[in-house]
């Protein structure tokens, strides 16, 4: 259903971004991958996706905390894959500490990657989408874009900012054939969460399995992790004709987290 469309998925070498890239590729979209990691593993991933789904897949290692590199990857997607029709702003990082102990450098880094990169990605991708009269922008926010948890001041502030920026872009583009939405996952078992589980187990003197159960029951009525595949399926739906009037919305996929 996305044959002939080109998607840039930031932070797609791992976790949710990879799940979304796979889901879009399975629909026939050509993909620009991005993110950090081992060069050999990334090349295997790139070539594997291209072969499995018979689509063009390129990789660019732009550091999304740098606005000029966001501009460059948008430009490269358009020049090497022909256009940029679906922008998925997914790259993100986490750091956990109370406000009064939160390191300034971590605040700056989280705001740069989790929030400013979303702004720059939209800013640079929108003109091409407007010219074609079609576009889909999907910003990966979080349940933490809608509600707070302790010790995550930068992350929660950035993700609330993503939801706000999503709404502004959506209303500006409402009659340009471009929808802009935010996906707000609850817990998804990715390397980002695995690290939090390991830190919690260390601090509590327990193990990762114990902390998994505690972590999820603290916030989610449904004691079940969402999967990168499920986030990918929601992204595919947002790209479909059935979703053409869904815009400016934070879509929760969180086992009931923000409902209670």
- Least separation in angstroms between residue 41's CB and ligand NAD is 11
Closest CA to 85 of 39, 23, 131, 51: 131
β-sheet bridge partners, residue 242: none
Looking up tokens 């078992």, which residue turns up?
Answer: 189
Rg (the chain; Cα; Å): 18
- Least separation in angstroms between residue 181's CB and ligand NAD is 14
Give, as ranges, the residues between 27 and 56 that touch ligand NAD (CB under 6 A): 34-37
3-state SS assignment for residue 29: coil
Q: Does residue 120 have an active-site annotation?
A: no
State the Cα–Cα distance between residues 93 and 42, nearest whole angstrom: 19
User: Which is catalytic among the residues 59, 120, 124, 155?
Assistant: 155
Which residues, 6+ apart, have CB-to-CB distance to 155 below 8 Å? 94, 95, 110, 114, 142, 144
Q: Which is nearer to ligand NAD, 69 or 134 (CB)?
A: 69
Which residues, 6+ apart, have CB-to-CB distance to 48 below 8 Å? none
One symbol per residue from 113 to 152: x for binding ligand NAD (CB under 6 A), - otherwise; what is it?
A: xx-------------------------x-x----------
Does the footprint of ligand NAD cover residue 15 (CB under 6 A)? yes
- Least separation in angstroms between residue 212's CB and ligand NAD is 12
Q: Which is nearer to ligand NAD, 12 or 247 (CB)?
A: 12
Of the listed pieces 48-56, 57-65, 122-130, 166-174, which binds ligand NAD according to CB under 6 A? 57-65
One symbol per residue from 188 to 227: x for binding ligand NAD (CB under 6 A), - otherwise; what is it?
A: x-xxxx----------------------------------
Q: Which is nearer to ligand NAD, 109 or 174 (CB)?
A: 109
Give, as ranges, the residues between 72 and 91 that touch ligand NAD (CB under 6 A): 90-91
DSSP 8-class letter at 255? T
Residue of the chain from 2, 7, 14, 232 that contacts ligand NAD (CB under 6 A): 14
Maximum separation of any 2 CA atoms in the chain, in Å:
56
Cα within 13 Å of Cα(247), Cβ side: 19
- Least separation in angstroms between residue 130's CB and ligand NAD is 25
Cα within 13 Å of Cα(217), Cβ side: 6
Q: Which is nearer to ligand NAD, 83 or 90 (CB)?
A: 90
3-state secondary structure 121-136: HHHHHHHHHHHHCCEE
CB atoms closer than 10 angstroms to residue 81:
21
Binding site for ligand NAD (CB under 6 A): 10-17, 34-37, 63-65, 90-93, 113-114, 140, 142, 185, 187-188, 190-193
- Point out the residues that are catalytic: 155
């Amino acid at each position: 259903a996305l044959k002939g469309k080109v998607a840039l998925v930031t932070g797609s070498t791992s976790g949710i971004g990879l799940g979304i890239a796979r889901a879009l590729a399975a629909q026939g979209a050509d993909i620009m991958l991005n993110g950090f990691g081992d060069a050999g593993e990334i090349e295997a991933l790139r070539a594997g996706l291209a072969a499995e789904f018979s689509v063009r897949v390129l990789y660019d290692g732009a550091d999304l905390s740098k606005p000029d590199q966001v501009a460059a990857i948008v430009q490269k997607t358009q020049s090497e894959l022909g256009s940029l029709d679906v922008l998925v702003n997914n790259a993100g990082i986490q750091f956990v500490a109370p406000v009064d102990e939160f390191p300034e450098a971590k605040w700056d880094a989280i705001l740069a990657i989790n929030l400013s990169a979303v702004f720059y990605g939209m800013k640079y991708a929108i003109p091409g989408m407007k010219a074609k009269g079609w576009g889909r922008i999907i910003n990966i926010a979080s349940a933490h874009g809608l509600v707070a948890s302790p010790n995550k001041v930068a992350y929660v502030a950035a993700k609330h900012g993503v939801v706000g920026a999503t709404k502004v872009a959506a209303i500006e583009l409402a009659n340009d054939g471009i929808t802009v939405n935010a996906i707000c996952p609850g817990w998804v078992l990715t390397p980002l969460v695995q690290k939090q589980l390991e830190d919690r187990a260390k601090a509590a003197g327990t193990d990762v399995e114990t902390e998994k159960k505690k972590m999820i029951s603290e916030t989610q009525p449904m004691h079940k992790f969402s999967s990168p595949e499920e986030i990918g399926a929601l992204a595919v739906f947002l790209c479909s004709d059935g979703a053409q009037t869904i815009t400016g919305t934070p879509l929760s996929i969180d086992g009931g987290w923000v409902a209670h």
